[in-house]
Amino acid sequence: MQRPAAPAAPLPLSLLLLLVLTATAQGQEATGSKELQPWLVGLTAVVVFLFIVFVVLLANRLWRIRTRRKSDESQESQEIHRVEKASYENPAVENEEEKSKATSL
């Protein structure tokens, strides 16, 4: 049974964000407190939004896999129980199957 491939983590994007924020923090130490530039605020907002969406989709996928496994296990047990409940022995059918009847055309 193969496991589904896990989605790749957005490592390069998070490293880029970390570098940008580090450079901004170093620049703020030298010049005092200063607001972030608008493009940097927008970039940060987009990255955070995409990360949240990634985490939600990952959680949703894991949840669906878990519920599918539980439903498959319960269906298998129900099917076995249903077959055991509905099955019975019929000696007449078993006797007919043992004898082969050949008919001439």
Distance CA 84, CA 77 (A): 11
Residue 91 lies in a domain: no
Q: Which long-range contacts (CB under 8 A, 24 or more apart) does 62-66 make?
A: 65/4
Distance CA 62, CA 69 (A): 11
Q: Has residue 85 got a pLDDT over 70? A: no
Residue 37 lies in a domain: no
Structure token pair of residue 10: 């957005």
Q: Which domain holds residue 55?
A: 48-80
Q: Regarding predicted confidence, which is higher, 75 or 28? A: 75
Tell me the pLDDT band of 8, cut-offs 50, 70 and 90. Answer: low
Residue 12 lies in a domain: no
Q: Has residue 1 got a pLDDT over 80? A: no
- In the prediction, which pLDDT does 44 show? 93
Q: Has residue 98 got a pLDDT over 60? A: no
Domain count, the chain: 1
Q: Regarding predicted confidence, which is higher, 84 or 70? A: 70
